[in-house]
C-alpha cells in the first residue's frame, strides 16, 4: 500500500493528472538536471525507469545523454501516463519501450540486466516498506557497475524549504490526492549501507521545494 493512497487511488490520480504532471517542472527540473550531471548516462547501455510519467526524462536522456546504442525500458501504473510517454518516445521506438504495470515492485527483467535504474518522484509516494522492496529489486536488476538514480521530495535544508516540506506533509496527511500521494522522504536514510555505496547525494530547493538527488552503486 502506498503512503496515504491505495494503488487504485494512485492509478486514478495519475490517469486524471496526465499531461498536467509536467507543470511540476518548476521544482523538478533542477533535481533532474543534477541527476543527469552525476549519473554518467553517457556511459549507460541499458536504462530501466519505474514511474516514468509522461516520459519527459526518458526523452531528454535519449535525445541528449545516452549513447545511440543504449536501450530504455520504462514502466508506469497509469495507462494515461503510458500512452503519453509512448507517444513522446515514438521516435525512439527502436530502443525505448514503455509498459503499463499493476504497481507491483517486482519487474519482468533479468538480474543484472540494467546499468541504470531510475526513479524520479516515485519513491516519495510509496510506503517505507515498499521503498525497501523497490531497493531490493533495483539491486537485483543492476549490473555490478550500474547505478541507482533517484530524485524525489525530501526534508528541507533551510527555513523556506523546511516550511514548504512541513506544509507539504500536512497537506499529504489531510488530502493525499492533492499532492499526487507524494510527501517528503529521505531515501538515503533507507538505503542499507552494506548493500549500497552512495556516490552522489544533494538536496536542491528551487522555489523552496526540497528535492533529494541520489546516485548509489550496488555492493
Ligand atoms: C509524481 S509522478 C512522477 C512522474 C515522472 N517520473 C516525473 O518525474 O515527472 C509519479 C508517477 O509514478 C507512477 N507510479 C506510482 N506508483 C507506481 C508503481 N507502483 N509502479 C509504477 N509506476 C507508479 C504514477 O503513475 C506516476 O506516473
Is there a contact between 116 and 44 (Cβ–Cβ < 8 Å)? yes
Q: What is the pLDDT of residue 2?
A: 67
Select from 6, 12, 13, 14 the residue to mutate for testing ligand 1; criterion: most ligand atoms less than 8 Å from CB.
14
Q: Which of 126, 160, 151, 142 is nearest to 203 (CA)?
A: 151
**Backbone phi, then psi, for 108, in 5-degree steps?**
-80, 65
Helix axes 7-17, 79-88, angle to 10 degrees: 40
State in Å: Cα 121 to ligand 1 middle.
Answer: 7
1 domain-assigned: no
In a domain, 127, yes or no: yes
- The confidence score (pLDDT) of residue 183 equals 95
Q: Is the CB of 52 under 6 A from ligand 1?
A: yes
In a domain, 38, yes or no: yes
Domain that holds residue 212: 7-218
| Number of domains composing the chain | 1
The phi, psi pair for 14, rounded to 5°, reads -75, -25
- C-alpha span between 157 and 154 (Å, rounded): 9
**Ligand 1 center–CA 174 separation, angstroms:** 21
- Intervals of the chain under pLDDT 50: none
In a domain, 131, yes or no: yes
CATH of the domain at 137: 3.40.50.150
Residue 188's alpha-carbon distances to 67, 155, 168, in angstroms, are 29, 12, 20
**Does the beta carbon of 214 lie inside 6 Å of ligand 1?**
no
Tell whether 129 is covered by a domain: yes
The sheet with strand 211-218 has its strands ordered as: 96-100, 71-76, 46-50, 114-120, 142-153, 211-218, 196-204
Q: Is the pTM of this model over 0.85?
A: yes
Query: 2 lies in a domain?
Result: no
pLDDT value at position 1? 54
Q: Cβ(100)–Cβ(77) under 8 Å?
A: yes
Ligand 1 pocket residue status of 78, Cβ below 6 Å: yes
77 lines ligand 1 (CB under 6 A): yes
Amino acid at each position: 500500500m502506498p503512503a496515504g493512497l491505495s494503488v487504485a487511488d494512485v492509478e486514478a490520480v495519475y490517469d486524471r493528472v496526465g499531461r498536467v504532471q509536467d507543470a511540476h517542472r518548476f521544482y523538478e527540473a533542477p533535481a533532474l538536471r543534477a541527476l543527469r550531471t552525476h549519473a554518467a548516462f553517457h556511459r549507460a547501455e541499458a536504462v530501466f525507469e519505474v514511474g516514468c510519467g509522461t516520459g519527459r526524462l526518458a526523452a531528454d536522456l535519449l535525445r541528449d545523454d545516452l549513447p545511440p546504442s543504449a536501450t530504455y525500458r520504462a514502466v508506469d501504473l497509469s495507462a494515461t501516463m503510458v500512452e503519453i510517454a509512448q507517444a513522446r518516445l515514438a521516435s525512439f521506438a527502436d530502443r525505448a519501450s514503455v509498459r503499463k504495470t499493476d504497481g507491483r515492485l517486482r519487474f519482468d527483467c533479468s538480474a543484472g540486466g540494467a546499468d541504470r535504474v531510475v526513479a524520479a518522484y516515485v519513491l516519495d509516494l510509496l510506503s517505507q516498506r515498499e521503498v525497501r522492496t523497490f531497493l531490493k529489486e533495483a539491486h537485483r536488476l543492476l549490473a555490478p557497475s550500474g547505478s541507482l538514480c533517484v530524485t524525489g521530495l525530501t526534508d528541507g535544508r533551510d527555513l523556506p524549504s523546511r516550511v514548504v516540506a512541513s506544509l507539504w506533509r500536512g497537506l499529504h496527511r489531510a488530502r493525499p490526492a492533492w499532492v499526487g500521494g507524494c510527501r517528503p522522504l529521505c531515501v538515503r536514510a533507507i538505503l542499507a549501507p552494506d548493500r549500497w555505496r552512495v556516490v552522489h547525494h544533494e538536496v536542491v530547493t528551487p522555489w523552496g521545494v526540497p528535492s533529494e538527488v541520489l546516485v548509489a552503486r550496488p555492493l
